[in-house]
């Protein structure tokens, strides 16, 4: 246990996310190379890392904030969060397929939700740690602004490898046409496949992508921390219909999500 006195919520979340990231990197190193066809060994690595990260994060949060509820992908969804004023929303290892394949586009997500009528998403903070990339993004990052939009190249749409949205297929030509008609860019649109939601948002913040669209649904732990970080950096976020994404629901399901450069929001949100 690494409990530190007088940590703020953000300091706690950042420390724990980074430590969990180091833990899963160490486990992958200890497992060593895995043959491409060895699915059993790869599953063992993914399951071991997912469980170890969850147990570490849950223990640290419980020790530091015993009155808070925790919603984690690998934990039991306790009824206590229904009445809780504060809920930590955790994905201990987002992008397990990428992690198990030796890639770098996996992440640790930690967000804190607070019951409030004042904020749309009710997220107090978020941390996305990209351990294999040596990058941590948080809602206290200074000088948090979106990268400058580059209209001289194609708009880069980052999507899930396993579940690309309709716009990345049948809707791609129409999207490119809309951008050209509006004078945003006449360079078209290209699709980039990335794993974790946190890694996708990281690609936008690094200037290597411009928008992320997911239209088939996923869980709150996939979304909460990346959305909080994206909003902190000034990216446009929301449901496809323009409504706000909210959290601590039962079931903890998010129907769809858009994160994009503000200039692209009129074409993707609402």
Q: How confident is the model at residue 120 (pLDDT cuts 50, 70, 90)?
A: low
Domains delineated in the chain? 9-138 (3.30.540.10), 155-268 (3.40.190.80)
Query: What CA–CA distance (Å, rounded) separates 75 from 60?
Result: 14
pLDDT value at residue 162: 81
When computed from its CA atoms, the radius of gyration of the chain, rounded to whole angstroms, is 18
Q: How confident is the model at residue 169 (pLDDT cuts 50, 70, 90)?
A: confident
Which run of H or of E encompasses 211? strand 211-214
Q: What is the pLDDT of residues 202-240, one digit of tens each?
A: 999 999 999 999 999 999 999 999 999 999 999 999 999
Query: What CA–CA distance (Å, rounded) separates 90 from 79?
Result: 16
Kindly report which listed range (57-61, 100-104, 159-163, 174-178) carries the lowest average pLDDT score.
Answer: 159-163
Whole-angstrom CA distances from 163 to 30, 94, 218, 221 are 31, 15, 11, 17
Query: What CA–CA distance (Å, rounded) separates 90 from 24?
Result: 15
268 has pLDDT over 70: yes
pLDDT value at residue 203: 97
pLDDT value at residue 119: 61
Query: What CA–CA distance (Å, rounded) separates 191 from 158?
Result: 6
118 has pLDDT over 70: no
Whole-angstrom CA distances from 76 to 58, 248, 259 are 11, 14, 29
Contacts of 58 (CB under 8 A, 6+ apart): 70, 72, 75, 90
pLDDT value at residue 129: 98
Closest CA to 69 of 90, 50, 55: 90
φ, ψ of residue 135 in degrees (nearest 5) = -125, 135
pTM over 0.85: yes
pLDDT value at residue 92: 98
pLDDT value at residue 46: 96
């Amino acid at each position: 246990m690494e409990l530190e006195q007088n940590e703020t919520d953000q300091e706690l979340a950042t420390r724990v996310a980074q430590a969990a990231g180091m833990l899963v990197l160490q486990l992958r190193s200890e497992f060593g190379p895995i043959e491409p066809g060895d699915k059993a060994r790869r599953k063992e690595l993914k399951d071991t890392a997912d469980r170890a990260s969850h147990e570490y994060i849950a223990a640290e949060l419980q020790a530091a904030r015993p009155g808070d509820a925790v919603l984690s992908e690998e934990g039991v969804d306790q009824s206590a969060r229904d009445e809780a004023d504060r809920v930590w929303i955790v994905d201990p290892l987002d992008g397990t397929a990428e992690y198990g394949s030796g890639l770098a586009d996996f992440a640790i997500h930690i967000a804190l939700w607070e019951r409030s009528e004042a904020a749309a998403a009710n997220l107090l903070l978020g941390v996305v740690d990209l351990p294999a990339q040596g990058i941590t993004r948080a809602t206290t990052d200074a000088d948090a602004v979106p990268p400058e939009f580059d209209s001289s190249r194609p708009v880069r749409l980052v999507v899930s490898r396993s579940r690309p949205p309709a716009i990345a297929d049948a809707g791609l030509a129409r999207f490119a046409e809309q951008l050209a008609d509006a004078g945003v860019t006449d360079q078209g649109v290209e699709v980039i496949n990335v794993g974790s939601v946190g890694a996708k948002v990281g690609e936008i913040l690094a200037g290597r992508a411009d928008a992320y669209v997911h239209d088939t649904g996923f869980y709150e732990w996939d979304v909460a921390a990346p959305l909080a970080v994206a909003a902190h950096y000034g990216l446009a976020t929301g449901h496809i219909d323009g409504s706000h994404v909210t959290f601590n629901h039962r079931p903890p399901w998010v129907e769809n999500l858009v994160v994009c450069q503000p200039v692209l929001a009129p074409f993707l949100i609402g």
